[in-house]
Amino acid sequence: MAKSYQPLNVNTDVTTTRTLLHEVIPLTGTIISGTYGVFPDEENIKNYTHGQFQSVYDYPYLSSSANHIFDLTLGIQSGSSLSASTNTQMAKKANMYNEYAQLLLGYDKAQNIEAFESDVNVADDDNQMQDCFFISLSRLLTKDQIKKGTFSIELGQGAFDNAHLSTITLTDTGSSETAGFALGRPGGDYAVLYDSTASLSTQIPTSSYGVIFYQAGVVVLSSSVFNTASGGGVITDFASGAITQTGAAPDTGPGRDASYMIATSSISGTCDALRHRIKNISFNNSTEINSTIYFCRMPVNQFNYSSNPTYTNASKIVVKNVASDLPVSYVTTIGLYNASNELLATAKLSEPLRKDPTNELTLRVRLDY
Amino acid sequence: MSLRKFGPNDILLNTLRTYSAVEYLIYDGKVYYNHSPNQSGTVSDNLLSVTGGALSLYEYNIDRKDGVNPYIYPYITKDSARSSFRTAGRTTYYNEFAYGDMITGSYPLEGRIDREYMTHPGARQTGSDVGLPVSSPGSTFAAAPIYPHFYALKNKLNYYTYLSEHYRVSSSFGGGWDKSNQAISLISVPAIMFGSKLKEGSISLKWYVSGTLKGELRDSKENGELIEVNRTGSNTGEVAGVVLYNEGFLLLTGSWAICDSPMELEIGAAADDPRWIHFGAGAYDGTTTATAGPTFASAAFGISFQAQSDTQAYTMFANAHRGKANYSNNPTYLQSGQTKLKRTSSMVYEENPSLKIKNFVSSSLLDYNAPFKRQTIISRIALYDKDKNLIGIATMANPILKDEDQDYTFKIKLDI
């Protein structure tokens, strides 16, 4: 085939670019609870004997079609008022808090583990979230990172047996690709989740109930979002029935606030209660596509001939009728070679391009990786 | 942590070759892949949201339905990189989208076999010949082909004539033929279903009439020829088509009657005896009993082959020789409570040279500390490139206790 080499100038003919491919990920509450079995024992919820977290799938997890969508757990900081050693699974709850805090926030100057805060400055040690729920989203869904400013979670505020009668929506609405988030932490960029009904000018810690780590794909929700009104939150009757009493029906039994559940219930039981209140989760993810673009230039007086065997017939160029006709060729393929003239890749044109001495072409070859 | 260099015999690169059986059953416009039935979910009556016999790329939208569980979908923002989806054509992309606009796609992307029946593969469109001059003044380039897939495969067919003359598009071999003028049934298998290639000698095409096997083709010579076997008729041993192993195409040209059982096999055509050129009818070509005729229900087709997949696997031998790898930088490796710095000032930073290693040698006696021995517990092996960038970590299932006088070799496998 045609072998006409044109060296590429790395300064003028080669450039790189980056494209962001996004996906819209809607996760409705029907996936999270109630569809694949009877709450709280759905077939798409996996609990482990270690009891440290609960996995949520988008279909019964024994099916090969099921995808893991997120893990749920909770943690208590050692300084919390709920951190009594007699609490159920207290050691595990404390370890879980420390594990997430170490991985996402790191340590302060005194080598103490930072605590989660409902603002973007963890160094000032105010607005600390000492009792938290953690939603660790699957890498399948978050890809390279969650797109800033697109996350929202809608939580039921109603009584336990009709939890979604009224809802609160938390969003990272103050965050964008350029502002509104904190960076420099081991977990990457993170921003605060505010009550969406709060105006931007009043998005202060009183209306913030968690943080989201975009690259790690972890959502940290303060338990205060579920506490009784007197506790600073908005939801009463966080759990009841089967969650708190073995053998009771899901919608019967005494109402329990989040603090009670976090302190006295198992991690999996409290996660069940949280699932019951998740109405929607929605976010967009991002995948970076890096590209190298090669500008292949075909000057006026070059690439007007082909060494394709069919280009000539009886030593005559088939696309010329008389000797004075201009030479002409049709470009179908571009070969990319290394310095040793070894073929590395070929780029095909969707349709052949006519090249003759009256025109100049620059073909833009993009290599994605 | 200590860095050690792999020796020339410590790294092996092997190719792991696997074969997986693939089977399709085509009946009345439906395709069944590896005996998988159509699965219905709790919310949607189509669990994977793909047509039967197809694979869902990523298997993202499981049991979803608009209005209940909205679908996951991709989008891209138009910018100077000019990236887009194939669904947005060139004209659409330039004319209908402004910079910053969102261009959406949809999931699932599916992979499936496809059948194309070409009555006259070399035919071209009529009435629109392109008037470009060629060698003979006054003649024209021919117009666009009606079956572009045939034209796209012509070079490959001629290329594989080193395997068999039956690949050649036009030949005088035997009675001679010109595939451009022969009816062809082209069955395309996507790479997601056949991996690296179709395994030679594994292909079998079966034609069932009313549930009875009436004809079978096999590539028994492993040279791409699809030869009729297991039949008492006069055409046993005849070549009814060829297979492109690396590309995943089956081209069937056998036009003899497999049995005497007329049925409606193509849309708009009269009833005909089963012939290999009708093989695969109903595989996403629109042919059903509704479009071809009720007797089409008598025909069923089976395709089976082995998909070959090649996986490169690195095997690395990491050696922890006697007298080496006997120290850990883990802070807990030293006794607690020791002063780590001997002195520090604006001019000097000197660590304590007398730090003591914690003795964790196990003793079988109560309240007795066994004599100190230098030992470590190896829990992970890190792999670095030549610039000492960490590129991988191998973690042990169980930590290994290593004494100073022990030799260990860890075998690390990495599939790529």
Structure tokens at B41: 């979910």
Judge: B80–A20 Cβ closer than 8 Å, yes or no. no
pLDDT at A248: 53
Single out the residue of B111, B251, B114 nearest to residue B193, CA to CA: B111
Judge: B76–A66 Cβ closer than 8 Å, yes or no. no
Q: Which stretch of DSSP H or E encloses residue A258?
A: helix A258-264
Using the CB atoms, write b or e for B377-387: b if 16+ within 10 Å.
ebeebebeeee
Query: Which is more confident, B94 or A243?
Result: B94
pTM above 0.90, yes or no: no
Q: Is the pLDDT of residue A348 over 50?
A: yes
Q: What is the DSSP string of B110-166?
A: EE--EEEEESSTT-B-SS--B----SSTT--B---BS-HHHHHHHHHHHHGGGT-GG
Residue A178 forms contact with B (CB below 8 Å): no
pLDDT at A231: 46
Structure tokens at B11: 């790294």
Using CB atoms, pick whichever of A20, A59, A289 lies closest to residue B41.
Answer: A59
Q: Is the pLDDT of residue B302 over 90?
A: yes
Residue A316 forms contact with B (CB below 8 Å): yes
Looking at residue A106, what DSSP letter applies? -
Closest chain B residue to A43 measured between Cα atoms? B42
Assembly ipTM: 0.86
Judge: A318–B77 Cβ closer than 8 Å, yes or no. no
Q: Is the pLDDT of residue B235 over 70?
A: yes
Beta-carbon pairs below 8 A across chains A and B = 67
- Mutation target among B40, B72, B73, B109 for the A interface, most CBs of A within 10 A: B72
How far apart, in whole angstroms, are the C-alpha atoms of residue A58 and residue A283? 16
The set of residues, in sequence order, having a beta carbon less than 8 Å from that of B397 and lying 6+ positions away, is: none
Residue B68 forms contact with A (CB below 8 Å): yes
pLDDT band with cut points at 50, 70 and 90 for residue A309: confident
For B40: left if phi > 0, alpha if psi spans -120 to 50, otherwise beta; the answer is beta
Residue pLDDT, tens place only, B224-234: 999 999 766 67
- Mutation target among A139, A283, A321, A325 for the B interface, most CBs of B within 10 A: A321
| A334-344 average pLDDT score | 91
pLDDT at A86: 83
Judge: A23–B62 Cβ closer than 8 Å, yes or no. no
Interface list for B 349-408 with A (CB within 8 A): none
pLDDT band with cut points at 50, 70 and 90 for residue B83: confident
Q: What's the helix, strand, coil split of chain B in %, to 5?
A: 10, 35, 55
Structure tokens at A173: 């609405």
Residue pLDDT, tens place only, B36-50: 888 888 999 889 889
Structure tokens at B406: 């022990």
| A25-40 average pLDDT score | 92
pLDDT at A327: 87
| A94-107 average pLDDT score | 95
Residue B148 forms contact with A (CB below 8 Å): no
Residue A56 forms contact with B (CB below 8 Å): no
pLDDT at B251: 97
Paired sense of beta strands B239-244 and B249-252, if any:
antiparallel
Length of chain B, please? Answer: 416
Paired sense of beta strands B204-209 and B212-218, if any:
antiparallel
pLDDT at A201: 66
| A219-238 average pLDDT score | 70
Residue pLDDT, tens place only, B381-394: 999 999 999 999 99
pLDDT at A263: 87
Chain-wide mean pLDDT for chain B?
A: 90
What is the least distance, in Å, from the CA of B58 to any CA of chain A?
Answer: 9
Strand runs labelled E in chain A: 14-28, 45-47, 54-57, 68-76, 131-137, 145-146, 152-156, 167-171, 190-195, 208-213, 218-222, 278-298, 312-313, 316-317, 329-337, 343-355, 361-368
Q: Are A69 and A50 in contact (CB under 8 A)?
A: no
pLDDT at A317: 83
Q: How many CB atoms lie within 10 A of CB A244?
A: 21
pLDDT band with cut points at 50, 70 and 90 for residue A131: very high
Query: Which is more confident, B394 or A244?
Result: B394
Span of A9-23, A62-76, A319-333 with lowest mean pLDDT: A319-333
pLDDT at B228: 94
Judge: A313–B135 Cβ closer than 8 Å, yes or no. yes
How far apart, in whole angstroms, are the C-alpha atoms of residue A352 and residue A241? 71
Span of A84-88, A133-137, B160-164 with lowest mean pLDDT: A84-88
Q: Is the pLDDT of residue B137 over 50?
A: no
The set of residues, in sequence order, having a beta carbon less than 8 Å from that of A306 and lying 6+ positions away, is: A2, A329, A330
Bond from prior residue into B108 cis (ω within 30 degrees of 0): yes
Q: Are B203 and B305 in contact (CB under 8 A)?
A: yes
Residue B81 forms contact with A (CB below 8 Å): yes
What is the least distance, in Å, from the CA of B81 to any CA of chain A?
Answer: 7
How far apart, in whole angstroms, are the C-alpha atoms of residue B83 and residue B165? 44
pLDDT at A230: 47
pLDDT at A318: 82
Judge: B76–A19 Cβ closer than 8 Å, yes or no. yes
Using CB atoms, pick whichever of B62, B69, B80 lies closest to residue A28.
Answer: B69
| % pLDDT > 70, chain B | 95
pLDDT at B98: 85
Using CB atoms, pick whichever of A25, A26, A321 lies closest to residue B137.
Answer: A321
Question: How far is CA A255 from its chain centroid?
Answer: 34
Q: Is the pLDDT of residue B282 over 60?
A: yes
Question: How far is CA B140 from its chain centroid?
Answer: 42
| A130-144 average pLDDT score | 95
How far apart, in whole angstroms, are the C-alpha atoms of residue A275 and residue A269? 10
Residue A330 forms contact with B (CB below 8 Å): no
| A176-184 average pLDDT score | 89
How far apart, in whole angstroms, are the C-alpha atoms of residue B203 and residue B218? 6
3-state secondary structure of B172: coil
Q: Is the pLDDT of residue A313 over 90?
A: no
Single out the residue of A284, A3, A24 nearest to residue B106, CA to CA: A24
How far apart, in whole angstroms, are the C-alpha atoms of residue A7 and residue B231? 61
Residue B109 forms contact with A (CB below 8 Å): no
| A328-332 average pLDDT score | 90
Using CB atoms, pick whichever of A35, A318, A319 lies closest to residue B42.
Answer: A35
pLDDT at B272: 92
pLDDT at A160: 81
Residue B246 forms contact with A (CB below 8 Å): no
Q: Which residues are A19's β-sheet partners?
A: A289
| A156-163 average pLDDT score | 81
Question: Which class for B278: exposed (0-12), middle (13-18), buried (19 or more C-beta within 10 A)?
Answer: buried
Residue pLDDT, tens place only, B329-383: 888 899 888 888 888 889 999 989 999 999 988 888 888 888 998 999 999 999 9
Evaluated on CA atoms B277, B281, B284, B286, the torsion sign reads positive
- Mutation target among A1, A15, A21 for the B interface, most CBs of B within 10 A: A21
Looking at residue A142, what DSSP letter applies? H
| B315-331 average pLDDT score | 91
| B177-184 average pLDDT score | 95
